[in-house]
A = this chain, B = another copy of it.
Amino acid sequence: MNSPTAQAPATFNDPEPIDVVHVGLGPIGRQVLAFMSGRERYRSAGGADINPALVGLPLNEILGERVVADDARVVETIEELGQAKPGAVAVHCAGSSLERVAPSLRALIEAGFHTVSTCEELSDPWRTQPKLAAELDAAARAADVVVLGTGVNPGYSMDYLPVVLAASQRSVRAVNVHRVQDAGLRRLPLQRKVGAGITVDEFTQRVHEGTIRHMGLGESAWLIDRALNLGCTDVVETIDPVVAEVPVPLGDGTIEPGRVLGIDQLVLGKRDGATVIRLHLQMAVGLADPRDVVALDGEPGLETVTRGLHGDSATAAVVVNSLGRVRTAPPGLRTVDEIPASPLNL
């Protein structure tokens, strides 16, 4: 952490920009890259993506606008990015499954990068994947770097925000979060991910296969549980379809009645059978009044309604706003309750 002074904080006088490398240049990775352009403290120094169409391109060409130094280009592997300069941070937007992205995280740690990742399962893997969490934590400590999984959800709206709000309470008995997102306003891959337009049978089948599911909701529950000492013994999840009752427009077409609009996902954190955490996520085309509601059952209790936490944009913002504190936190695998995003240009 930087110390405030009566004049400007020391960071603003620091002349050397910090290197940021962009690992994974899909929709979210690109949005992070675009958001970086306003941050003078940082320099997008390179990118890595397995997509052959991107390898060799200047970062500028990917966005179609000049946002970074001309010499920054996309390479194929993390190894080609070379050893990290002191304090350099990798933005890692390469997948939701921790097991699948673990090799790239290991490579970034080994190369000496602090890493901010949008991998949903990295947001709090201590209970869900304890062995992998402990391994990454040990590697990060050994390499003297910080690894953080974050984004808007998980990472902010359904976990960090309730924890922040709980600080105003004498005690909290139970946490109730309801996030409503209009998938019609989101990018196409997300609409596909929530099953927009498919039949209910296909939805059921794909839930069974594990290809329709918002990832990270269980991790959010465990994060809240640990941060608030709620004593969860079990976290259970159900996924149901939101079904069209009338024709719902989407892009150039229409989703007919009876077809799926999106997901209705519920995660319950239980302590000896009693529900102490309830995370309810609805992401579907055409949902009215997108919002985030946090209700704390506590002493004295509280309810907060937020409008404007858009998924993609807020994820990129939270990632960019996490770069500063990631560089100065104690090394290891960290969680958002330990390293809050800060808009300060740290």
Contact = CB atoms under 8 A, between A and B. Distances in A.
Interface in A183-200: none
Contacts of A6: 126-127, 130-131, 133-134
A217 to B, nearest CB: 18
A251 interface: no
Nearest to A31: B170
Contacts of A318: 167-168
B307 A338 contact: no
Contacts of A4: 126, 226, 335, 338
A340 B167 contact: yes
A101 interface: no
B137 A3 contact: yes
Given A5-B126, A126-B6, A167-B321, A228 B305 contact: no
Interface in A290-346: 296, 299-310, 313-314, 316-318, 320-321, 329-330, 332, 334-335, 337-338, 340-345
A253 interface: no
Band of interface residues on A? 35 or more
Given A6-B130, A300-B308, A167 B343 contact: yes
Contacts of A229: 343-345
A300 B157 CA distance: 15
Contact of A340 (B152, B300, B330, B340): B340
Contacts of A167: 156, 317-318, 321, 340-343
Given A4-B338, A156-B168, A309 B317 contact: no
Nearest to A150: B167
Nearest to A127: B6
Of the listed residues A1, A167, A317, A321, the one surrounded by the most CB atoms of chain B closer than 10 A to its CB is A167
A174 interface: no
A62 interface: no
A340 B170 contact: no
A17 to B, nearest CB: 16
Interface stretch (A21-29, A106-114, A158-166, A234-242): A158-166
A110 to B, nearest CB: 20
Given A168-B317, A229-B344, 7 more contacts: A3-B330, A3-B332, A4-B226, A4-B335, A4-B338, A170-B316, A299-B313
21 contacts: A1-B329, A3-B137, A4-B335, A4-B338, A6-B130, A38-B170, A157-B168, A161-B164, A167-B341, A167-B342, A167-B343, A168-B308, A168-B314, A170-B317, A170-B320, A229-B343, A300-B308, A300-B313, A303-B308, A304-B304, A305-B305
